[in-house]
Amino acid sequence: MRLLIQALGALVCVGLVALAMLMDLRQLHQTLPDLAQFSPGKLAAIMVSIANWIPHFNGDKSLEYPMQISLFVISILGLYAAVKAGGRPRRSAALFGLFLLITSTLLALISTTTFILQRYLLFLAPLYFLLISNGLVTLLDKASEIQLRPVAHKIAQSVVALPVTVIIGTLLLGAFNHIAFNSYSVVTDRPDYRSIAAYLSDKVKSEDTVVIIDDPSHGTTVLNFYWQGVAPAAVYDARDPRLFQRELQGDIYWVVGLKPAVNEGVANNSGWAEVKNVPGAVVLKENHTSVTILDRLDHMVSQLETTQPGYLTVLSLRGSVYQAQGNIQEAVRAYQGVGTAIPLGAEHLRTAEGFEAIGETDKAWQEAILSKFDQPARPEIHRWMAEMLSQMGMEAESRRESEIADALQDSHSTPKR
């Protein structure tokens, strides 16, 4: 009876906490899944993501993909072996299998109305690797049970042990590549901002200006993290309309973290006072001149356009230049040409509004820039920026943002013939 009372008390406590969390969550923006869009294909896509993304080890694609498929097959073998063993292994296999299936189904449902990132699957990695481990152990056990002559027995064991060793070696390679200096940016597909922060801290002066051109636009946020909120100079994202009010008094450090070919191409152009290559990016120093920041960004975007014609991230930057020049129609056309880079514009804008509501203006702008990067043709982000710029006294920039928002809104509401 005492245990029953304790259990009921624990359930009541959990229920009260869950009720409080539910009431809080109901105040957030909610987008319900669209059951009509759910299909077995979406579920299969989530399962494929588990098989392809979790055991990613930054190898040659022609070798990495077969390895990922092999690991998936071995995980199925591990699940089958556990079920066949009965007892506790069978119960564990049922738990793991249901967890993977239910989680994948929920993510597939959510993906009908919300963009799903692969990192949402990261917490499934321990279960997946446990199933792979069980499959590898099963292979080794089966090899040891082979009844052959001593020499043939050793050969059979070696044949089984070789792929096991290769698989373990590739997983160790993946772990090494994630922490190795020269491989980090390739595995994560992101610039090595830690090295960038260290370089800039050593080089820039307080009167200098740092301009970030990256894809996606995480640079200002990540660099702020490494600098612990105390940047050595003024730092702007190239898409930030506040940049063009900056009166240059020192040098400019361009941080370009785009495609490798684009980084290399722009770094090879003449005229840079200093070039610093880091994994996934390049830092370019431009000495102080009387040329305005708008003209310098215009020239930079032209170089990027020459290096990689048709690159949508560069097209978005061209839209920012047109906007600063007052060429509203061309800016709108550029933003519409980009369309949707990542369908998270509304989410980042809501986050910006939340930060602004609690007085975290810098973080609000970082989220707003991300929203603009994701979906520059959404009128809502330009209206938010227009309001914020007006509060800062930047009336010309605010007016241009409002004009762009109106033009984008009109283009959305105009029926197509």
Q: Which domain holds residue 73?
A: 35-179
Asked whether residue 73 is assigned to any structural domain, the reply reads: yes
Read off φ and ψ for residue 56, nearest 5 degrees. -65, 125
Residue 367 has pLDDT above 90, yes or no: yes
Residue 209 has what pLDDT?
95
Share of the chain above pLDDT 90, in %: 43
Asked whether residue 409 is assigned to any structural domain, the reply reads: yes
Based on the fold, state whether residues 226 and 103 are members of the same structural domain: no
pTM (two decimals):
0.72
Asked whether residue 165 is assigned to any structural domain, the reply reads: yes
Based on the fold, state whether residues 106 and 232 are members of the same structural domain: no
Q: What is the pLDDT of residues 75-133, one digit of tens each?
A: 888 888 988 888 888 888 888 888 888 888 888 888 887 777 777 777 888 888 888 88
Q: Give the list of residues 6+ apart from residue 190 with CB closer than 8 angstroms, or none.
A: 218, 257, 280
Based on the fold, state whether residues 153 and 198 are members of the same structural domain: no
Asked whether residue 200 is assigned to any structural domain, the reply reads: yes
Based on the fold, state whether residues 141 and 217 are members of the same structural domain: no
Residue 148 has pLDDT above 70, yes or no: no
DSSP symbols for 15-42: HHHHHHHHHHHTTS------GGG--HHH
Based on the fold, state whether residues 56 and 123 are members of the same structural domain: yes
Q: What is the pLDDT of residues 214-251, one digit of tens each?
A: 998 899 999 999 999 899 999 999 999 999 989 899 99
CA angle 325, 328, 330 (to 5 degrees): 90
E strand or H helix that includes residue 174 = helix 150-179
Based on the fold, state whether residues 315 and 242 are members of the same structural domain: yes
177: pLDDT confidence band, cut at 50, 70 and 90?
low
Residue pair 216/296 in contact (Cβ under 8 Å)? The answer is: no
Asked whether residue 77 is assigned to any structural domain, the reply reads: yes
Based on the fold, state whether residues 211 and 304 are members of the same structural domain: yes
Choice between 284 and 56, residue whose per-residue pLDDT is larger: 284
Residue 143: name the closest of 121, 165, 126 by CA. 165
Based on the fold, state whether residues 164 and 298 are members of the same structural domain: no
Averaged pLDDT of the chain:
85
Least confident of 29-38, 178-187, 324-333, 354-363: 178-187
Residue type, 175: A
Q: What is the pLDDT of residues 314-355, one digit of tens each?
A: 999 999 999 999 999 999 999 999 988 888 898 899 999 999
Cα–Cα distances in angstroms (integers) from residue 409 to residues 111, 327, 341, 346, 374, in the given order: 27, 17, 19, 15, 17
- Strand spans (E) along 196-263: 209-214, 234-237, 252-257
Question: Residue 262 belongs to a domain with what CATH number?
Answer: 1.25.40.10
User: Which of 179, 208, 226 is the endpoint of a domain?
Assistant: 179
Based on the fold, state whether residues 314 and 335 are members of the same structural domain: yes
B/e letters for 212-221, b = 16+ CB within 10 Å, e = fewer, are bbbbbbbbbb
Based on the fold, state whether residues 265 and 381 are members of the same structural domain: yes
Residue 183 has pLDDT above 60, yes or no: no
Residue 416 has pLDDT above 50, yes or no: no
Residue pair 278/199 in contact (Cβ under 8 Å)? The answer is: yes
Residue 259 has pLDDT above 80, yes or no: yes
Based on the fold, state whether residues 126 and 213 are members of the same structural domain: no
Based on the fold, state whether residues 197 and 168 are members of the same structural domain: no
Q: What is the pLDDT of residues 35-51, one digit of tens each?
A: 888 888 888 888 887 77
Asked whether residue 218 is assigned to any structural domain, the reply reads: yes
Residue 269 has what pLDDT?
87
Residue 256 has pLDDT above 90, yes or no: yes
User: Which of 133, 159, 179 is the endpoint of a domain?
Assistant: 179
Read off φ and ψ for residue 360, nearest 5 degrees. -90, 75
Residue type, 208: D
Asked whether residue 120 is assigned to any structural domain, the reply reads: yes
What's the total number of domains in the chain?
2
User: Which of 109, 144, 179 is the endpoint of a domain?
Assistant: 179
Asked whether residue 154 is assigned to any structural domain, the reply reads: yes
Residue pair 206/106 in contact (Cβ under 8 Å)? The answer is: no
